[in-house]
């Protein structure tokens, strides 16, 4: 198959975890997606992901892990890192570079804190060391929309907060708003709600001082979800780290920044 793309499922406890893999490189790169995983896992998207990240696929064996299909009511970003560690052991990944985006970055932090032997280089994109009032306010609004079963409002609010005005216009997203109620609507919002609450309770602030992996932090100067200063904070806490700040971009920097993947390749090389 193109890019050696594969859709996979891993048993974990009494449930399972969807993940995908692509690429044939000698080194392993793990990607952890954001809160959108609560609405739709990576099930069935190996080929489009492989095409989207084909620059990475040329050099690395890439894995993208969803969270477990059924999450505990008291799950946290820390317990999700424990699940990821289990998944790595189960499929024979001893050590990998790890890229965590938004909520995925929160989980990646705990993986690097608790399982340093498993993390080669760490990349944190549009994420924070600890939750803050801005995040809590945003997620509270999203939870209210989910409680009302108003998926259209939830999707529109996501787009408006994640991307810059220029990018929204460029992609003609607002033309699609009448149809977004049908996009990624889950049968239940339970996974989304549990992951959203885990984001609101995230706090790896103290532990980041113990991270030994070389780390690259990406931040957006116009982040409407995290706050610009807060998304820079991991750089000040992790000793062996560097920062790339896209001053004019927001939370969606991982899609908007034209050099995002090139910056990652340069850091990993």
- Residue pLDDT, tens place only, 9-25: 999 999 999 999 999 89
- Considering the chain, what percentage of its residues have pLDDT values greater than 70? 100
CB-CB neighbours of 268 under 10 Å = 18
Query: Does the pLDDT value for residue 3 go beyond 90?
Result: no
- Please state the separation of Cα 9 from the chain's center in Å: 19
Please state whether beta strands 96-101 and 27-32 pair in parallel, antiparallel, or not at all (unpaired): parallel
Q: How far is CA 86 from CA 68, 79, 90, 220, in A?
A: 11, 11, 6, 32
**Tokens 């690395």 found at:** 60
pTM of this structure? 0.96
> Do residues 163 and 235 make contact, with C-beta atoms less than 8 angstroms apart?
no
Please write the tens of the pLDDT for every residue from 48-59: 999 999 999 999
* Strand partners for 125: 101, 218
Please write the tens of the pLDDT for every residue from 210-265: 999 999 999 999 999 999 899 999 999 999 999 999 999 999 999 999 999 999 99
Tell me the average pLDDT across 143-155. Answer: 96
| Predicted pLDDT of residue 84 | 98
Burial of 67 (0-12, 13-18, 19+ CB in 10 A): buried
Please write the tens of the pLDDT for every residue from 67-119: 999 999 999 999 999 999 999 999 999 999 999 999 999 999 999 999 999 99
Query: Does the pLDDT value for residue 1 go beyond 70?
Result: no
Please write the tens of the pLDDT for every residue from 112-145: 999 999 999 999 999 999 999 999 999 999 999 9
CB-CB neighbours of 253 under 10 Å = 26
Domains of the chain and any CATH numbers: 2-268 (3.40.50.1820)
| Predicted pLDDT of residue 183 | 79
Query: Does the pLDDT value for residue 203 go beyond 80?
Result: yes
- Please state the separation of Cα 211 from the chain's center in Å: 19
């Amino acid at each position: 198959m193109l890019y050696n793309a594969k859709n996979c499922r891993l048993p974990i406890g009494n449930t399972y975890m969807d993940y995908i893999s692509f690429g044939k490189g000698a080194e392993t790169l793990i990607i952890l997606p954001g809160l959108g995983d609560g609405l739709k896992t990576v099930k069935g998207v190996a080929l489009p992901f492989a095409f989207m990240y084909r620059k990475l696929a040329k050099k690395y064996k890439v894995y993208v892990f969803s969270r477990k299909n059924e999450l505990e009511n008291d799950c946290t970003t820390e317990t999700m890192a424990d699940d990821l560690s289990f998944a790595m052991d189960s499929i024979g990944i001893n050590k990998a570079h790890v890229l965590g985006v938004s909520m995925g970055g929160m989980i990646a932090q705990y993986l690097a804190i608790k399982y340093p032997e498993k993390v080669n280089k760490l990349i944190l994109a549009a994420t924070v060391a600890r939750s803050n009032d801005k995040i809590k306010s945003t997620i509270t609004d999203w939870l209210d929309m989910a409680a009302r079963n108003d998926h259209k409002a939830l999707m529109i609010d996501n787009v408006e907060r994640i991307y810059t005005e220029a990018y929204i216009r460029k992609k003609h997203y607002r033309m699609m708003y009448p149809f977004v109620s049908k996009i990624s609507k889950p049968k239940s919002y339970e996974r989304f709600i549990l992951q959203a609450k885990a984001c609101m309770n995230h706090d790896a602030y103290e532990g980041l001082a113990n991270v030994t992996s070389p780390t690259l932090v990406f931040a957006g100067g116009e982040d409407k979800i995290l706050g610009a200063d807060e998304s820079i904070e991991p750089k000040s806490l992790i000793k062996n780290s560097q920062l790339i700040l896209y001053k004019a971009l927001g939370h969606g920097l991982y899609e908007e920044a034209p050099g995002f993947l090139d910056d990652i390749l340069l850091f990993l090389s």
